[in-house]
Structure 1
Amino acid sequence: MNHKPTAVLFGGTGFIGRHLANRLTARGWRLIIPTRRWQNARNLLLLPTAEVVELKERTLPALTALVRGADLVVNLVGILHSRPGAPFGPDFAQAHVEWPKRLATACRDAGVSRFIHISANGASPTAPSEYLRSKAAGEAAIRTVLDAAGSENPTQWTILRPSVVFGPGDSFLNLFARLARWAPVLPIGKADAKLQPVYVGDVASVMLTALETPESIGQSYPLGGPRVYTLKALVDYAARLSGHPRPVIALPDRLAFLQARLMALLPNPPLTPDNLRSLEVPNVVDGSPLPFGLTPTALEAIAPEYLAHDTYRAHYAEWRRRHTG
């Protein structure tokens, strides 16, 4: 009987995780997908080699037991908002620093051979936002845990730093498309911020290629798409594709931060002041957008088919998918 390699995907019920799970299943991997709530993983139960596990304990012993015997562990856990703090808030500290440190320790203790961690482009201890500073601290924690054991460490790590990720089900372009349906104008802060969106399928391809590339061990890679856009251009593009073109108004910083502070009061805020501070750093990639010689997918090749679902163009795209195989 052929041995199926086993991957444990933490955060596997999320946007990137669902795409990666499909790709790994297609390659014959057995998947273990921990989740706090079983209902979050209902769609993944359709994957023939996926096992959904309710993660009731997040202690080091529980994590070590869960990942023992796995060939690969992927950490996709991340949050966008936190209570404030210095150098970052407690929620960022827990999700972006303490959690990956504990998970890396569990992988080391359980003898897991590969660990892939998803960070963020622009992560730096001196970044202007708590989000980016916490991402940098998480990377440092992983390196400390897994490099401290030296040659005796069984776990080989790779860190990926994607720019903003787009694709079906994303929370970026879809957000602006939804806003355009009811807002007569779209006022945004940091309208001139530079971003280099990367397709979720390309992020999954980089992870799979890294597993087959020994040179990726102990390396960190920024990930981007083929083009750099301003935030204003992306908002305008999402609104037009959704069939609801709207004027996009660039707010001065004073009004932008006021807007963000008000939005931060909502239960699931679309924007916070810390999000704006992240945009002060160009979210672009120096050099090749993707490692390993991979070719990035253009935003314009993907976004129309999931943003324009209420337009004739989208209906045609759906018809073409169904009738052309």
Structure 2
Amino acid sequence: AQACLANGTKRLMHVSALGADVQAPSGYLRSKAAGEQAIHAAYQAAGNDGFTIFRPSVVFGPEDQFMNMFARLARFFPVLPIAGAKAKMQPVFVMDVAEAILNSMSQPWACGQTFELAGPRVYTLGELVELAALWSGHPRPVLPLPLSIGRMQAFFFECLPGEPLMSRDNLASLTVDNISHAPMNPLLGIVPTALESIAPVYLKPAV
């Protein structure tokens, strides 16, 4: 924000996250809220409102690290043990996010505003895992795990090399629902894309 202001950048388009809150249970969501606060503080001090903040729910699309991850797991495990299986989320298509940003980039009504970006339907995490497995050609039942066991599972993942499949901070995020407070703002010009119309195509197993 400070660099944009110092260099006369006309607009700052910032992608935060749905559920960003300084009181959130996870460090991830608290850090997103801190980022938003930093932008507000910098622009307010400069008397400038040339920024727009977007808060997308979990984003899906080809090569995503969400539905694809569960599809990969379904290839190797007969049952998918999932902590936080009842957590609610509202996945949004990556192209809808991109289009919302483009549509508001030069619009005065978007200055100084925050927009929540979410898809047309709310799912539980367990439902999304089952759908990813089904659409990838490996239908699997989901075994809901208590959060206490999930934390042990996540700690094990954190000890493995590379990016963990699930961290304890991810689990903390799942203790609050990741859903929008209202339909997507009509000014953005987006008709939210259904997960069912996109994910089965890119998750479909290669022939």
Counterparts of 1:196 and 1:266 in 2: how far apart (Å)?
29
Which amino acid in 1 is paired with 2:206?
D
Counterparts of 1:232 and 1:132 in 2: how far apart (Å)?
21
Q: Aligned Cα RMSD in Å?
A: 1.2
Candidates 83, 90, 96, aligned match of 1:189? 83
Q: CA deviation at 1:248?
A: 0.7
1:275 match: 170
Counterparts of 1:289 and 1:109 in 2: how far apart (Å)?
32
Q: Are 1:299 and 2:195 an aligned pair?
A: yes
- What's the CA shift string for 1:195-236, capped at 9, x where partnerless? 000000000110011114211100111110000000000000
Q: CA deviation at 1:145?
A: 0.9
Q: Where do 4+ consecutive residues of structure 1 move more than 3 Å?
A: none
Residue 132 of structure 2: SS of its match in structure 1? helix
Does structure 1 conserve the Cα–Cα contact (< 8 Å) formed by 2:88 and 2:122? Answer: yes
2:206 match: 310
Counterparts of 2:138 and 2:14 in 1: how far apart (Å)?
37
Q: CA deviation at 1:304?
A: 0.9
Which amino acid in 2 is paired with 1:228?
V
In the alignment of these two chains, the number of paired residues is 205
Counterparts of 1:174 and 1:307 in 2: how far apart (Å)?
7
Counterparts of 1:121 and 1:139 in 2: how far apart (Å)?
12
Counterparts of 2:97 and 2:123 in 1: how far apart (Å)?
19
Candidates 99, 118, 122, aligned match of 2:15? 118
Counterparts of 1:221 and 1:181 in 2: how far apart (Å)?
37
Q: CA deviation at 1:168?
A: 0.6
Which of structures 1 and 2 has the larger relative contact order (alpha carbons within 8 angstroms, sep 6+)?
2
> Which of structures 1 and 2 has the bigger CA Rg?
1
Does structure 1 conserve the Cα–Cα contact (< 8 Å) formed by 2:54 and 2:115? Answer: yes
**Percent identical:** 54
Which amino acid in 2 is paired with 1:307?
L
Q: TM-score, normalised by structure 2?
A: 0.96
- What's the CA shift string for 1:104-151, capped at 9, x where partnerless? 11110000101000000000000000100011001000111112111x
Q: Are 1:262 and 2:156 an aligned pair?
A: yes
1:179 match: 73
Residue 29 of structure 2: SS of its match in structure 1? helix
Candidates 26, 30, 46, aligned match of 1:129? 26
Does structure 2 conserve the Cα–Cα contact (< 8 Å) formed by 1:116 and 1:158? Answer: yes
Q: CA deviation at 1:188?
A: 0.4
Does structure 2 conserve the Cα–Cα contact (< 8 Å) formed by 1:243 and 1:310? Answer: no
Query: 5 Å matches for 1:200-279?
Result: 200-267=94-161, 268-279=163-174
- What's the CA shift string for 1:65-118, capped at 9, x where partnerless? xxxxxxxxxxxxxxxxxxxxxxxxxxxxxxxxxxxxxxx111100001010000
Query: 5 Å matches for 1:21-36?
Result: none
Q: CA deviation at 1:290?
A: 4.6
Structure 1 residues without counterparts, runs of 5 or longer: 1-103, 312-325
Counterparts of 1:160 and 1:117 in 2: how far apart (Å)?
6
Q: CA deviation at 1:309?
A: 3.1
Q: TM-score, normalised by structure 1?
A: 0.62
Counterparts of 2:54 and 2:105 in 1: how far apart (Å)?
12
- What's the CA shift string for 1:13-46, capped at 9, x where partnerless? xxxxxxxxxxxxxxxxxxxxxxxxxxxxxxxxxx
Counterparts of 2:184 and 2:195 in 1: how far apart (Å)?
13
Which amino acid in 2 is paired with 1:241?
W
